[in-house]
């Protein structure tokens, strides 16, 4: 069995700092493209919904005009 050794607090701090920075960097690199893709999909869906609403308005306007005349 390996005996426990005293490790300097500075070395411990350095190790945990590097670990934290690595996790933070990985999260940033992984989550950023994913968020951009979600925003792109949401924008496309909004465009489709807006287009559908405009078509419905035009159809309603055309039907209202034909009933009056």
Tens-digit pLDDT profile for residues 1-41: 666 788 899 999 999 999 999 999 988 888 777 778 889 99
Domain ranges in the chain?
32-68
Tell me the torsion sign for CA atoms 48, 50, 56, 59. Answer: negative
Which residue matches tokens 């069995």? 1
pLDDT of 69: 47
DSSP string for residues in 37-66: HHHHHHHHHHHHHHHHHHHHHHHHHHHHHH
Which residue matches tokens 């419905």? 56
Separation between Cα atoms, residue 68 and residue 64, nearest integer Å: 6
Tens-digit pLDDT profile for residues 42-63: 999 999 999 999 999 988 888 8
């Amino acid at each position: 069995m390996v005996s426990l050794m005293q490790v300097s607090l500075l070395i411990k701090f350095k190790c945990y700092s590097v670990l934290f920075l690595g996790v933070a960097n990985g999260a940033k690199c992984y989550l950023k493209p994913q968020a951009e893709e979600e925003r792109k999909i949401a924008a496309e869906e909004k465009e489709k919904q807006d287009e559908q609403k405009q078509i419905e308005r035009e159809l309603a306007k055309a039907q209202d005009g034909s009933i009056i005349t």
